[in-house]
Homo-oligomer: A and B are copies of this chain.
Amino acid sequence: MIKPKTRQIVLRSRPEGLPTPDNFAIRTVDVPAIGDGQFLVKNELLGLAPSSRIRMSESETNGSYDMPTPIGGVIHGQSLGTIIESRHPGYAVGAKVVLTAGGWQEMSVSDGSLTTPVDTSLAKESLWLGALGVSGLTAYAGLIGVGQIRPGDRVAVTAASGAVGAMAGQIARAFGCHVIGIAGGAEKCGYIRQELGFEAAVDYRSPAYDNELRQACADGIDLFFDNVGGRIRSDLLPWMNKFGRIVVCGMISEYNNPAGATGPSWMPILTKQLTVRGFLMRDYVHLQSWFVRDVAGWLAEGKIKPREDITNGFENTPAAFIRMLSGQTFGKTIVRL
């Protein structure tokens, strides 16, 4: 009897700098058997996130992020699919779920950990990978759990048209904050300014960048939600107000060169009495029920307008990921299998 097969995308070699298609390989394997307490999901969508890049570097060069993907290992990432086989009492065949650690593969086995049921009465499927998925929870936890957001705060967000950034800015606006978004290019800046209603948009690719930044930040920044690190973070640092908070959510500009990056002088941290906090979303899963309630409500009220960048075809996942890391995708990057 020929066993049924399924495909995975694995790490073929560790990227140096921006990943290239050569760093990935597609592997065909037997459909995995499940054990007691497990279920099998046929994935329909993958949700891509920059943090997968961190795991592609080894521990010594990735800031000791604790779960590097081994060579030959399935790339880490979020998936959404339908349960097609189950030996788990809590998960029935036919149910739709999001697997936070589903991985870049057509079929995933889960024991129910890091699994979220998809409730399409609250929002359409794909939103459970973005606004109501890890991107949204990251933004929500970063602002509330880490950044102690307060109504009236002047909030700066980098990568502001990205999946996490756009959510952070919109959640901050829902909290009654003044939001300054930093993004690359006129299209993205127009989007966050006009469509999302941010109070200011600063285009880091524009020749007028310095001026735009100075104008947008004239009254300082109370809460800085940073997704990019690098030069843009250094440019914003002098605008922090006293007792300002910096939420270190990501540093996409440094993932491709983690060992070589340097940072800004810490003098403003001292003299302005700043609080800088790094966080990982997984430490805030206890906020999940508040998060779903709040964000589903804001989606229904139109206060959050999700945007997705959809690529078709499992084999195109690495290309979509590379486009995302290069700043060429717009909104939540999703692959439809």
12 contacts between A and B (CB under 8 A): A63-B267, A229-B266, A248-B269, A262-B263, A263-B264, A263-B265, A269-B278, A270-B278, A272-B278, A273-B278, A275-B278, A276-B277
A127 CB → nearest B CB, Å: 26
Report the Cα distance A92→B267, complex, angstroms.
Answer: 40
Docked-complex contact A276 and B275, CB < 8 angstroms: yes
List B contacts of A66 (CB < 8 A): 271
Residue numbers in B under 8 Å from A238 (CB-CB): 64
Distance in angstroms between the alpha carbons of A254 and B267 in the assembled complex: 8
Residues of A whose CB lies within 8 Å of any CB of B are 54, 62-66, 229, 233, 238, 248-251, 254, 258, 261-280, 283
Q: CB-nearest residue of chain B relative to A61? A: B267
**Besides the contacts A271-B278, A274-B278, what 9 more A-B pairs have beta carbons closer than 8 Å?**
A64-B271, A64-B272, A229-B265, A254-B266, A262-B263, A263-B266, A271-B280, A273-B278, A275-B275
Cα–Cα, bound, A271→B281 (Å): 11
Interface centre among A62, A262, A271, A277 (most CB of B within 10 A): A271
Complex CA–CA separation, A265 to B279 (angstroms)? 15
Copies in the complex: 2
Closest Cβ of chain B: how far from A176's Cβ, in Å? 26
Residue of B nearest to A54 (CB): B271
A251 touches B267 (CB 8 A): yes
Is B271 a contact partner of A63 (Cβ separation < 8 A)?
yes
Q: A238-B64, A248-B270, A251-B270 are in contact. Are A265 and B276 (CB under 8 A)?
A: no
A16 CB, nearest partner CB in chain B, Å: 16
Closest 8 CB pairs of A and B: A63-B267, A269-B278, A270-B278, A261-B265, A63-B271, A65-B271, A276-B276, A263-B263
Are B265 and A262 touching (Cβ within 8 A)?
Answer: yes
Contacts of A266 in B (CB 8 A): 229, 233, 248, 251, 254, 263, 276, 278
A233 to B273, CA, bound (A): 18
Q: Which residues of the partner chain B approach A63 to less than 8 Å between Cβ atoms?
A: 265, 267-268, 270-272
In the complex the two chains form, is B276's CB within 8 Å of A283's CB? no
Q: Specify which chain B residues have a CB less than 8 angstroms from the CB of A277 in the assembled complex.
A: 269, 273-276
CA distance A258 to B263 in the complex (A): 14
Q: With A and B bound together, what is the CA distance between A272 and B270 in angstroms? A: 21
- A271 B229 Cβ-Cβ under 8 A: no
Q: How far is the CA of A254 from the CA of B265 in the complex (A)?
A: 9
- Distance between A268 CB and nearest chain B CB, rounded to angstroms: 5
Report A192 CB to chain B, min CB distance, Å: 23
Chain B's closest residue to A234 (CB) is B262
Residue of B nearest to A258 (CB): B267
